[in-house]
């Protein structure tokens, strides 16, 4: 008789969810601070420079 495998589904589910949330959070932070924040900073600097040029012209 083969003994039933108990607790494997729960252990696997917890591991899968932990890895998914961990990697998702890590990649989310990477995208936010590695791509989004620098691109928004460049955009804001561009429009600030444009506004300064426009103010000088008037």
pLDDT at 5: 66
pLDDT at position 3 is: 73
Stretch 3-22: mean pLDDT = 85
Q: Would you say residue 11 has pLDDT above 90? A: no
17-43 pLDDT per residue, tens: 999 999 999 999 999 999 999 999 999
DSSP string spanning 4-55?
A: P--SHHHHHHHHHHHHHHHHHHHHHHHHIIIIIHHHHHHHHHHHHHHHHHHH
| CA proximity to 37, closest of 27, 25, 29, 26 | 29
Please tell me the distance from the alpha carbon of residue 38 to that of residue 46, in angstroms, as a whole number.
12
Report the pLDDT value the prediction gives residue 2, as an integer from 0 to 100.
72
């Amino acid at each position: 008789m083969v003994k039933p495998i108990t607790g494997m589904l729960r252990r696997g589910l917890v591991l899968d969810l932990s890895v998914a949330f961990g990697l998702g959070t890590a990649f989310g932070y990477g995208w936010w601070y590695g791509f989004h924040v620098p691109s928004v900073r460049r955009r804001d600097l561009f429009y600030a420079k444009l506004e300064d040029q426009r103010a000088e012209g008037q």
